[in-house]
Amino acid sequence: AQTVTQSQPEMSVQEAETVTLSCTYDTSENNYYLFWYKQPPSRQMILVIRQEAYKQQNATENRFSVNFQKAAKSFSLKISDSQLGDTAMYFCAFIWSGPLVFGKGTRLSVIA
């Protein structure tokens, strides 16, 4: 079974600084997708970024980028120029065939 591990339960960063959230996963499959979701206090899961495993190029979305290391099964999220609105729970998720599998999340606090 696929598993997703987020080893940082909580992190904090100063406004305008850069922070990296870690994620590792376990799978024997070759073609799959990885995601980072943001869950603010409103509770709605918001897709931040998506990475296809068959693409070597790391995905980027404005201030958000990933470092995808397929051999190491690592998928970290970098947030540049952190903003107060980035304060939220961040979940790493994996899908191959079947449902999305989530990690336990990292609570990120952006401090003014």
Partner 1 sequence: ETGVTQSPTHLIKTRGQQVTLRCSSQSGHNTVSWYQQALGQGPQFIFQYYREEENGRGNFPPRFSGLQFPNYSSELNVNALELDDSALYLCASSTRDGLGEKLFFGSGTQLSVL
| 56 lines the binding site for partner 1 (CB under 8 A) | no
Residue whose entry in the numeric block shows the structure tokens 């100063």 = 14
Residue 21 to residue 11: CA distance in whole angstroms:
8
| 64 lines the binding site for partner 1 (CB under 8 A) | no
| 30 lines the binding site for partner 1 (CB under 8 A) | no
Among 49, 66, 82, 103, which residue sits at the site for partner 1 (rule: CB under 8 A)?
103
Residue 50 to residue 88: CA distance in whole angstroms:
18
- 3-22 mask for partner 1 (x: CB under 8 A)? -x------------------
Mapped onto helix, strand or coil, the DSSP state of residue 65 is strand
| 42 lines the binding site for partner 1 (CB under 8 A) | yes
Nearer to partner 1, 14 or 104 (CB): 104
Backbone angles phi, psi at 80, to 5 degrees: -100, 155
